[in-house]
Structure 1
């Protein structure tokens, strides 16, 4: 009886181990590297890369082309910033005016009104913190006109010309899965990118201290002059909740087609990570899943 008892106990323990293995497998999936078990997330695609050199740590469907919602605004920022450098523009004392068209764009806004005048520097914050579609349109209109002037082009729509510049920059950065159709990321079947391309763009911009400052800002205050010449104070709060959990940026996004998206930047004493997740199940999952990826990645490389 003792020998039978021992065998039964061993079989029971084996069953428990098998059950634990199944539970483990249900929490993880095989990533692009078939030797590595990666977390099972609701995100349709994701990637973790080294923010310093662009090396890919782990990824899942990283080259899948998808709509990316307001993550589009990262490229809008990049294009405007490059034009400012070319023009030698001092962004803190150069101003942009908001058109009626820009003020009426839907979705998330910086609450800009027709005729508002504000500095280019403040407009960057209005673009990235509250994810202002109106700020994106104001940039596209004002800098689209500049680009046309520089290229001696007449008779074109400045917004379309600005979007063309966005696509030119994407080609320069070898973002092979990316095409832009607007400056803000509202639903458009031709406004597409991938987790890998977004991460590549983020790493390019993380070389710039002003960009890093903007995307790491929780709240920004500014003064706006309206079309009557009166001024009002504006306060913009960053939509990125992970700034309160040790992350330092970068950009949220969400539309009915793209789903909740998030591009993030995290830095430790000796490592830094860019994490992009696209197409999460809901708004809250993008926070928890980014955190899950970070913690899992840290456990893998330590």
Structure 2
């Protein structure tokens, strides 16, 4: 009896993985190919930083900003953020290009916050100019209860006294608003960002399907592709006294250089989110994004991703071969 396409698909079941949710997506457009619990919202940890970097790029493009010439001064607030760190200090000055490495390689919450503050200031100044030009400046007052609730949602257990950092607080809030607007524009309807770094707080969640969309968009940007494939990065900045200060960062992504088809992307880990990864592969004329959320541990995260990639490639190649054989039979009139 001749095998049908459905029989072929069923005969290649997905491998066992520890991830609670996973997906294999088309890297060109982010569309879902295979998945499990792919529409279930979950915490995404530092995968959040993919959107942070993407939004920074979009703002730079809009305002024609050169990432190697635009300098950022690290605030006290940014340097004091808890969690994974690029080891930045208050008063450090680095260019945007270098700070993006600090976000995507060591997964620096401090670097993500510094960029969020800096680019929110650019957005704020632009809005103020537009308001003056239109002679209709908008008031942005919030009642104290609403302000307190938003701060709790965004900052959670970040270790920051937001009462002492009102400017930083409001700038980060503005940047997060832009992150959520961008998610809506990209039709990431099940995603909610509450900070630029992904540290565990209320309201920072997404789905496999939505993460696939932002991952696909980010990997179309040569600057981001260039950064996430690096194993290490070194740069020079200045400190608060104007003296030279070196920075050296290693990629948290241990799959780098282990698979020639792997282009990298972003890890994420918190106690509640578990070990997470969004990964881009290009192999056998296929451009794939593999996403795993809440794998059992770091080692399982790498194994889960490799298993799913190999399985997806085999399955897609088998389907392609089947369709090619059907086409040949039709051409022969069989």
Deviation of 1:54 (Å) = 3.0
Deviation of 1:187 (Å) = 0.5
The two structures, once aligned, show a CA RMSD in angstroms of 1.6
Q: Say yes or no: does 1:244 pair with 2:257.
A: yes
**Alignment match, 2:205:** 192
Q: Say yes or no: does 1:290 pair with 2:305.
A: yes
Q: Does the 8 Å CA contact 2:12/2:315 hold for their aligned counterparts?
A: no
Deviation of 1:97 (Å) = 0.4
Structure of higher CA gyration radius: 1
Residues 1-302 of structure 1 aligned to structure 2 (within 5 Å): 37-152=13-128, 157-246=170-259, 247-302=262-317
Separation of aligned partners in 2, 1:88 and 1:169: 19
Separation of aligned partners in 1, 2:12 and 2:299: 26
Deviation of 1:269 (Å) = 4.4
Deviation of 1:195 (Å) = 1.1
Q: Does the 8 Å CA contact 1:215/1:249 hold for their aligned counterparts?
A: yes
Q: Does the 8 Å CA contact 2:31/2:209 hold for their aligned counterparts?
A: no
TM-score w.r.t. the length of structure 1 is 0.86
Separation of aligned partners in 1, 2:122 and 2:287: 36
Deviation of 1:34 (Å) = 7.7
**CA shift in 2, pair 1:225/1:62, >3 Å:** same
Separation of aligned partners in 2, 1:277 and 1:54: 15
Q: Does the 8 Å CA contact 1:67/1:189 hold for their aligned counterparts?
A: no
Runs of 4+ in 1 over 4 A off after TM superposition: 33-36, 153-156
**CA shift in 2, pair 1:164/1:53, >3 Å:** closer
Give the count of matched residue pairs.
Answer: 270
- Any idea what the Cα deviations from partners look like across 1:229-254, whole Å, max 9, x if unmatched? 11122111111111122211100000
- Any idea what the Cα deviations from partners look like across 1:261-299, whole Å, max 9, x if unmatched? 000011114111101100111111100000000111122
**Alignment match, 1:6:** none
- Any idea what the Cα deviations from partners look like across 1:5-63, whole Å, max 9, x if unmatched? xxxxxxxxxxxxxxxxxxxxxxxxxxxx9886222211110110111233422100011
Higher RCO, 1 vs 2 (CA within 8 Å, ≥6 residues apart): 2
Q: Report the more deviating stretch, 36-45 or 206-215.
A: 36-45
Separation of aligned partners in 1, 2:201 and 2:301: 22
Q: Report the more deviating stretch, 292-301 or 250-259.
A: 292-301
1:105 is paired with a residue whose SS is: coil
Separation of aligned partners in 2, 1:136 and 1:35: 44
- Any idea what the Cα deviations from partners look like across 1:194-240, whole Å, max 9, x if unmatched? 11111111101111111111111111110010000111221111111
Separation of aligned partners in 2, 1:125 and 1:265: 18
Show structure 2 runs of 5+ residues with no match.
1-8, 129-137, 142-166, 318-334
Q: Does the 8 Å CA contact 2:31/2:213 hold for their aligned counterparts?
A: no
Separation of aligned partners in 1, 2:296 and 2:54: 29
